[in-house]
A and B are shown apart, each in its own frame.
Chain A
Amino acid sequence: MTLEEVLSVIDGKLLSPGADLAMEVGMACGADLMSDVLAFTHEGTLLLTGLTNPQVVRTAEMSGIAAVVFVRGKVPPAETLSLAQSTGIPLLASRLTMYETCGRLFRAGLPSCGMFELSTNSWQQAFGDDSEADAEQVHPS
């Protein structure tokens, strides 16, 4: 899905002037916990978050996030915008809640980042090893 399509699906606004709206995102992740973003995303992911501090952009840079959508009508401060400018990561805004922004994109066909070893491990610790069928879909970190 291109950023242009993302903007139309979520009825959003572009915060980074001059960003390449033809850029493709292959999957998305909704999170307010940056450690989760670092642990449960892949290169080329679209990040949806309610946090607006500059560390969101740092986190995106480190984990290869393609673009960031700020949900719930939040507008990031100038430090965040300028760090995004220097790292070249496009920023988008949505007035919708996290749930609805994610829901609209998922319904429009943008998939999640899949399953991860960290989460299947803790699942197995809690509920035992009954997920043979899912095991094949697990991505290594």
Chain B
Amino acid sequence: MNANPGEVTRVQELVYELKIDQVMTRDVISVTPDTTLGDLKELLRTKRISGVPVVQEGALVGMISIENVILALERGELAAPVGSRMTTDVVSVRAEDTVVSAVNLFARYGYGRFPVLDGKGALVGILTKGDIVRGMLKRMEVEWQAEELERYRASHIFEDIESDETGLILRYRVKRQDFIRAGEAASKIKRALERLGAHPRIIRRVAVASYEAETNLVIHSVGGEIIAEIHPDRIKLVAVDSGPGIADVQQALQAGYSTAPDWIRELGFGAGMGLSNIKACSDSMKLESELGVGTRLELTIKLQ
């Protein structure tokens, strides 16, 4: 896929999906209004941070940052209490809001951090741009690992499960004359093989053979089943129906021989090519039929 400028990227999606409380720092370092600017300077230096919320009796009363400390240093006011220099007009964010709302606030105010409040207005965390970047990277890594694991599991299913012979059986019921849905089973078999990591050329042969077999069931039978047995080294496809059966199997196998009605021919099928096409896709094929009983087509495609 090409990344169009208008296309929403995974990062943009994450900004809308992630909540602030999923990325914020919970262990909030705070000061009280009577902390001196000198003590604040030491706190910012040792904790390597550039600003803190000011809390009094559990309630957020202001924000103070390194700029206030620099100003106090210039003026020799390090003994002054934080309460006399802090910003009291505080912009805060809510824990349950999405990260995108905070991204907008960072852009609008140019602040380095926002205090995070819960629904009752209590201080529960602090949010910096660094928190957002870290939170998103962590989430993307988790998703990537989950995706990789799923892909690995699907393609290694035969190695993970121990038995003398492991096989995966996919069974699809096919209704007579339901031409609109013809090909759904083949489509699902194709997707299963893609998930299992089969070679594209093998997938194409299986898809074509099962599609032809499926349309045969739709056109000619009273209804039946497509069964795909996937083994580590081969795929066995069985198309079985309960009637009406083929009068002359040898004749049916001849290329160009067809008993399909006109309406099927108008749809681009029924030219008598199906069975020879299936045979060309298979490593071995067997067709058995009895009039009034049913037909069974079995074919094998090797995976190596």
Contacts and interface: CB of A to CB of B under 8 A. Distances in A.
| Best-surrounded residue of A20, A22, A141 (most CB of chain B within 10 A) | A141
Interface in B247-278: 255, 267-269, 271, 273-274, 276-277
B223 interface: no
B180 interface: yes
B268 A33 contact: yes
B207 A62 contact: yes
B2 A22 contact: yes
A36 B271 contact: yes
Interface string A118-134: 10001000000000000
Interface stretch (A7-15, A47-55, A103-111): A47-55
B260 to A, nearest CB: 10
A21 to B, nearest CB: 11
A122 B271 CA distance: 15
A79 B201 CA distance: 28
Nearest to B267: A53
A54 B268 CA distance: 11
B190 A33 contact: no
A55 B183 contact: yes
Contact of A38 (B2, B179, B180, B277): B277
A22 B271 CA distance: 35
A118 B207 contact: no
A4 interface: no
A62 B274 contact: no
A56 B212 CA distance: 13
A49 B255 CA distance: 22
B211 interface: yes
Contacts of B201: 43
A85 interface: no
Judged by DSSP, the binding face of B is: helix
Interface string A33-68: 111101100010000010101111011011110000
A35 B271 contact: yes
Interface string A70-93: 000000000100000001000000
Given A58-B183, A63-B204, A64-B204, A35 B274 contact: yes
Q: How large is the interface on B (under 10, 10 to 19, 20 to 34, 35 or more residues)?
A: 20 to 34
B242 to A, nearest CB: 24
Contacts of A35: 212, 268-269, 271, 273-274, 277
Nearest to B180: A54
Interface in B156-203: 179-180, 182-183, 186-187, 190, 200-201
Contacts of A54: 180
A32 interface: yes
A122 B280 CA distance: 13
B190 A61 contact: yes
A55 B180 CA distance: 7
Given A36-B271, A43-B200, A59 B211 contact: yes
A33 B208 contact: no
A24 interface: no
A33 B273 contact: yes
A62 B255 contact: no
A59 B269 CA distance: 11
A118 B276 contact: yes
Contacts of B215: 55
A33 B212 CA distance: 13
Given A39-B280, A79-B180, A117-B280, A63 B268 contact: no
A34 B187 contact: no
A118 B204 CA distance: 17
Contact of A62 (B200, B208, B276): B208
Given A43-B200, A55-B182, A32 B190 contact: no
Contact of B186 (A56, A62, A122): A62
25 contacts: A20-B2, A32-B268, A33-B268, A35-B271, A36-B273, A38-B211, A38-B212, A39-B273, A39-B277, A43-B200, A49-B268, A51-B267, A55-B179, A55-B183, A55-B215, A58-B182, A59-B211, A61-B190, A62-B187, A62-B190, A62-B204, A62-B208, A118-B276, A118-B277, A122-B255
